[in-house]
Amino acid sequence: MFGFVGYTAKLDNSFLYDTYINLVSPLQRVGEVLCKTLQYFGWRYVGLLGSSSDVFTWAETEELWESVENQLKINFTITAKVRYNTKDQRLHEKKLSYISSAARNEMGINFNFSFAVIVLICSSLDARSILLQAKELGMASGPYVFFVLQQFEDNFLKEIWNNKNTSNVLDAYQPVFLIALSSYREYNTFSNFIMDIHEKLKKNTSHSFLSSQDEVSSYAAYLHDAVLLYALSIREMLREKKDFHDGRALINTLKGYNKTLKYGITGPIHIDESGERNMDYSVYDLQKSGNSTRFIPVLNFDSDRKAIRGTSDSES
Q: Kindly compute the dihedral angle of the four CA atoms of residues 56, 168, 101, 127, in this order, to the nearest 10 degrees.
A: 10
DSSP track, 37-75: HHHHHT--EEEEEEE-GGG-SSTTHHHHHHHHHHHHHHH
Q: What's the DSSP call for residue 261? A: B
Q: What is the pLDDT of residues 90-112, one digit of tens each?
A: 999 999 999 999 999 998 877 77
Distance, in Å, from the CA atom of 209 to the CA atom of 192, rounded to the nearest integer, reads 20
Q: What is the pLDDT of residues 219-267, one digit of tens each?
A: 788 888 888 888 888 888 898 899 988 888 888 887 764 566 666 777 7
Model confidence at 8, pLDDT cuts 50, 70, 90, reads: low
Query: What's the N-to-C CA distance of the chain in angstroms?
Result: 44
Helix or strand or coil: residue 140?
A: coil
Q: Which residues contact 68 (CB under 8 A, 6 or more apart)?
A: 30, 31, 34, 48, 119, 121, 149
User: Residue 266 region, left (φ>0) first, then alpha (ψ -120 to 50), else beta?
Assistant: alpha
Distance, in Å, from the CA atom of 190 to the CA atom of 187, rounded to the nearest integer, reads 6
Helix or strand or coil: residue 178?
A: strand
Q: What is the pLDDT of residues 177-204, one digit of tens each?
A: 999 887 554 445 666 777 787 777 777 7
Say what the pLDDT of residue 313 is. Answer: 45
Domain 28-182+280-315 has CATH 3.30.1490.20: no
Q: What does the pLDDT average to over 297-304?
A: 90
Say what the pLDDT of residue 55 is. Answer: 57
Burial status of residue 315 (CB atoms within 10 A of its CB: 0-12, 13-18, 19 or more): exposed
Q: What is the pLDDT of residues 75-94, one digit of tens each?
A: 999 999 999 999 999 999 99
Q: Hey, which residues does 276 pair with through a beta bridge? A: 22
Q: Which of 52-56, 138-142, 180-184 has the highest mean pLDDT?
A: 138-142
Does pTM top 0.75 for this prediction? yes
Say what the pLDDT of residue 181 is. Answer: 81
Whether 273 contacts 252, CB under 8 Å: no
